[in-house]
Amino acid sequence: MQLYAATEEHTVRLHEIHTADGSRVQHRRFCAAEGREISNSEVGRGVALPDGRMLPLSEDDLARLPLPTKRTITVMGFIDPQGVIPISYDRPYYVAPAAGTADRPYALLRSLMLERVQASGEVCIEYVACGAGAGSGAVGAAAD
């Protein structure tokens, strides 16, 4: 399934500046062993070993890591929508099936939510994990 932002963020973005002259601060990638700046293409990921050495990890290594919550939606339960404090909302999203790969899970989730909403007016509390981000949310369903 995919999450689509239902609103646009309209916030003022703050930047780090040098207070003496107001110029922007740059963050550069610097190799301590070679004493020089390196490009983004030279940056990878690694894990520190107990003896202090670094073990480089490839993109394939990272993809094979056992992450049971990678790209999942877990239904935690249902509650009265009055129990959800509006200030706790970060941003609204639409949930939709992802390009033909999640039609069945989406239909199951949607029918479960519609059934519960029509019976009791409750909303679904879910834990969503996608890629590097995760969080909980309240999800309601609307009929076609």
Give the start-to-end residue ranges of the domains of the chain: 2-8+66-139
pLDDT in tens, 84-119: 777 767 777 777 777 767 778 778 888 887 887 778
Average pLDDT over residues 40-45: 89
Q: Is the pLDDT of residue 49 over 70?
A: yes
Q: Which residues pair with 31 in a beta bridge?
A: 36
The Cα–Cα gap between 73 and 90 comes to 18
Average pLDDT over residues 5-14: 68
User: DSSP 3-state assignment of 102?
Assistant: coil
Model confidence at 131, in pLDDT bands (50, 70, 90)? Answer: low
Q: Which residues does 144 contact at the CB level (< 8 Å), separation at least 6?
A: none
Does the pTM surpass 0.75? The reply is no
* Residue 63: predicted pLDDT: 77
Phi, psi of 138, deg, nearest 5: -105, 130
The total of other beta-carbon atoms located within 10 Å of residue 106's CB is: 17
Q: Is the pLDDT of residue 137 over 60?
A: yes
Which range in 19-23, 65-69, 79-83 is most confidently predicted, on average pLDDT? Answer: 19-23
